[in-house]
Amino acid sequence: MDLKLKGKTALITGASGGIGSAVAEGLAAEGVHTCLNYNSNDKEVRRLQDLFRKKGLKSEIFKADISSNDDVQNMVDFAIEKLGHIDILINNAGISYHKKFLDMEMNDWDKVMDINLKSCFIASQLVARHMAKRGVGGKIVNNSSMVEGVARPNLTTYCVSKGGLGALARSLAVELAPYNIQVNNVNPGIIETKILGDKLENEPGFKQHLIDFIPMGRLGTAEECADLFVFLASQRSNYITGASYYIDGGVTISQL
């Protein structure tokens, strides 16, 4: 199936990490020109840029801490200047944050909200204004989580930030529909990336402990998530908006 993505342009936040990097590769495989954001680790985005340029695609790199409003503005301006325009925004960058609710301080709240939620609001607004002005539509796909609609202990700020992303996608979907801009969420379950922390490698039994909760009996991969992002960024999903798609091996529906 032709996804009709060839020649489109995408800005991807957190392209230096597991899922973001896989999304960038998935989009580039369909002929999409990319602007790759990173914050602290430029090794992976440099590898991707080299790979994509060798295929004849435009690929740019931009360092931005997305918790900074100015950095987000500069990142969007840079992407528009270098790629000419933005057809697709992938709000992927995010952090996990484990702490007991009773021990939390306002800094904990601010940090997670700024990175996981506020950045998506600002980037989406800047890119949507650009898309609306161009008048040819566009796609915004957020990396939410299976916790968008359920609770997990010691993850309050993370759960609230991802719940907020659900509300953001639905609200923007309604307001941006007249501009032919579709806004959707991908809600991964437990995916084998660095966000799961050192315990995965260092603590025997931890991986199996996670797997025990998953009906499909394995962790998900970044590439599996990327396929869903690519579909939601493509012209094959044009009548889908304001939706959150779980990609979790059945874990969310199976919890008692």
Binding site for ligand NAP (CB under 6 A): 13-14, 16-20, 38-41, 64-67, 92-95, 115, 143, 145, 188, 190-191, 193-196
**Residue 132 or 160 with smaller CB distance to ligand NAP:** 160
Q: Shortest Cβ distance from residue 42 to ligand NAP (Å)?
A: 7
Strand partners, 98: none
**Residue 7 or 220 with smaller CB distance to ligand NAP:** 220
In sequence order, which residues have a C-beta less than 8 Å from that of residue 31 and are 6 or more positions away?
A: 5, 6, 7, 8, 57
Our CA angle for 45, 139, 19, nearest 5°, is 35
Which contiguous run of DSSP H or E holds residue 134?
helix 119-134
**Residue 39 or 156 with smaller CB distance to ligand NAP:** 39
Q: Shortest Cβ distance from residue 151 to ligand NAP (Å)?
A: 15
Q: Shortest Cβ distance from residue 38 to ligand NAP (Å)?
A: 4
Q: Is 97 a catalytic residue?
A: no
Which pair of structure tokens corresponds to residue 19? Answer: 């899922």
Q: Shortest Cβ distance from residue 111 to ligand NAP (Å)?
A: 9
Exactly one of 38, 97, 158, 246 is catalytic; name it: 158
Residue entry with tokens 């529909």? 177
Q: Which of 65, 54, 170 lies closest to 119 in space, CA to CA?
A: 65
Catalytic residues: 158
